[in-house]
């Protein structure tokens, strides 16, 4: 992906072009400290995404001044126009990343450049200006250092970081937003599965489609997520399934699970070799997960089984299960890292993954390897210290 480029101002003088391209400048950050810090939620009571720290970061953009006014201020409500483009046309996108405390008390980010690259991609898809990756990472680092005491130090715990960009122009025309607010909030989180791994039952939805070739499934835009909630509620209620497997096309190609990428470990029927399979990023309907990419990189570096980005259909999975070639299934994303799957409901039949309520050896090994890098147990270039 060609990202991090500067946007071209659509017409106008050179002065406007310069302003339009003004970068995020972390040295200009103004810090307004909270005068009444909140009481911290006990770690065991943390619920994903419900607790926020004392401060937030906001940075403004408009088409005259470019990026300006980076401010770290007490966490609080935003005031935006009821005509703001974010509220009418979904000119909103976001990122999900984490900061970890290592055993020496250092704060670490995991591949933050990948999140910035994806944020740029999502923003450009919504005709928003680009961001300079290094500038935003440094502003986020300033925020993390200020709210450092909120970063949990316990194994499995971390600080979820939510960068968000919204269109704030008060204008009802369907046009590029002339004003943008970029903000970052922090939420301390515990392990996704408190009592160890809990493999999930999935529902392969043959009716609702999350994303399609040429669509925006490859961008983290808010509009992709709201419409998934009602089908998920239905899958939970009617089939007792925790997540939906999103399919595409008459042959039911497997795209993603919930808001995670999905990977299958199978024995290939043609060459009898084990292969880790996930959907390719070639046609715009798969979110390019940082966890997905890291898993593929790690598995390829191990060289112990084939690693293929190819389309897998539900028919192929049904056949593999019948022939004893279905080995492991897992979801992958920042929140859970690895989410093992125990079964998939498809056309009223339950396809059982042989690992059942246990975690498969490959899923376990990938999870361990990723966590060791994220928490700095194993030094790796993906883990970036920020203090
Ligand atoms: C965020 C997200 C993922 C996972 O991406 P990570 O970078 O690994 O967290 C996968 N699929 C969807 C639809 C997502 O929104």
What are the pLDDT digits (tens) for 30-55? 999 999 999 998 998 898 899 999 99
Asked whether residue 358 carries a pLDDT value surpassing 80, the answer given is yes
Tell which atom from ligand 1 comes closest to the C-alpha of 211.
Answer: 13
For ligand 1, atom 10: residue with the closest CA: 260
For ligand 1, atom 14: residue with the closest CA: 259
For ligand 1, atom 12: residue with the closest CA: 259
What is the CB < 6 Å shell around ligand 1?
A: 96, 220, 256, 259-261, 287, 289-292, 333-334
Q: Which of 243, 333, 370, 373 to mutate to test the pocket of ligand 1 (most atoms within 8 A of CB)?
A: 333
| Predicted local distance difference test score (pLDDT) of residue 20 | 64
Asked whether residue 379 carries a pLDDT value surpassing 90, the answer given is yes
Q: What is the pTM of this model?
A: 0.94
Asked whether residue 188 carries a pLDDT value surpassing 80, the answer given is yes
Mean pLDDT of the chain: 94
Contacts of 377 (CB under 8 A, 6+ apart): 102, 103, 371
Average pLDDT over residues 252-260: 98
Average pLDDT over residues 215-242: 97
pLDDT per position as a tens digit, 268-304: 999 999 999 999 999 999 999 999 999 999 999 999 9
Q: Which of 260, 285, 371, 373 to mutate to test the pocket of ligand 1 (most atoms within 8 A of CB)?
A: 260
Residues in the chain: 387
pLDDT band at 196 (very low <50, low <70, confident <90, very high): confident
Burial state string for 321-345 with b = 16 or more CB within 10 A and e = fewer than 16: beeebbbbbbbbbbbbbbbbbbbbb
Report how far ligand 1's centroid is from the alpha carbon of 260 (Å). 5
Contacts of 36 (CB under 8 A, 6+ apart): none
Report how far ligand 1's centroid is from the alpha carbon of 219 (Å). 10
Burial state string for 111-144 with b = 16 or more CB within 10 A and e = fewer than 16: bbebbbbbbbbbbbebebbbbbbebbbbbbbbbb
pLDDT per position as a tens digit, 298-332: 999 999 999 999 999 999 999 999 999 999 999 99
Question: Which two tokens mark 288?
Answer: 């390019």
Report how far ligand 1's centroid is from the alpha carbon of 10 (Å). 32
Asked whether residue 16 carries a pLDDT value surpassing 80, the answer given is no
| Predicted local distance difference test score (pLDDT) of residue 194 | 73
């Amino acid at each position: 992906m060609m990202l991090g480029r500067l946007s071209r101002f659509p017409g106008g003088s050179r002065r406007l072009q310069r302003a339009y391209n003004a970068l995020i400048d972390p040295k200009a950050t103004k810090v307004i400290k909270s005068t009444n810090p909140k009481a911290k939620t006990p770690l065991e009571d943390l619920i994903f995404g419900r607790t926020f720290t004392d401060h937030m970061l906001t940075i403004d953009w408009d088409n005259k001044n470019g990026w300006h006014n980076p401010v770290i201020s007490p966490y609080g409500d935003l005031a935006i126009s009821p005509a703001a483009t974010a509220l009418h046309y979904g000119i909103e996108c976001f990122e999900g990343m984490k900061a970890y405390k290592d055993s020496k008390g250092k704060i670490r980010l995991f591949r933050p450049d990948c999140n910035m690259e994806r944020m740029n991609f999502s923003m450009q898809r919504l005709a928003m200006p680009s961001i300079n990756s290094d500038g935003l990472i440094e502003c986020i680092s300033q925020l993390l250092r200020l709210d450092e005491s909120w970063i949990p130090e316990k194994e499995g715990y971390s600080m979820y970081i939510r960068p968000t960009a919204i269109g704030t122009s008060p204008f009802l025309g369907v046009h590029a937003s002339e004003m943008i607010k970029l903000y970052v909030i922090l939420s301390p989180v515990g392990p996704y599965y408190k009592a160890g791994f809990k493999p999930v039952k999935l529902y392969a939805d043959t009716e609702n489609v999350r994303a399609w070739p040429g669509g925006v499934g490859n961008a983290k835009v808010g509009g992709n997520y709201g419409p998934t909630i009602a089908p998920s509620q239905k899958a939970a209620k009617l089939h007792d399934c925790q997540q939906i497997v999103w399919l595409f096309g008459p042959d039911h190609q497997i795209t993603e699970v919930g808001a995670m990428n999905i990977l299958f470990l199978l024995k290939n029927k043609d060459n009898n070799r084990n292969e880790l399979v996930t959907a390719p990023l070639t046609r715009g309907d798969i979110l390019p997960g940082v966890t997905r990419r890291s898993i593929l990189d790690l598995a390829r570096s191990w060289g112990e089984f084939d690693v293929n980005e190819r389309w897998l259909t539900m028919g192929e999975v049904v056949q593999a299960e019948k022939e004893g070639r279905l080995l492991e299934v897992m979801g992958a994303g920042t929140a859970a890292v690895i989410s093992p799957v125990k079964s998939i409901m498809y056309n009223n039949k339950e396809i059982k993954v042989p690992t059942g309520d246990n975690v498969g050896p490959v899923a376990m090994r990938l999870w361990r390897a990723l966590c060791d890098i994220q928490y700095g147990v194993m030094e790796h270039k993906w883990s970036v210290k920020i203090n």
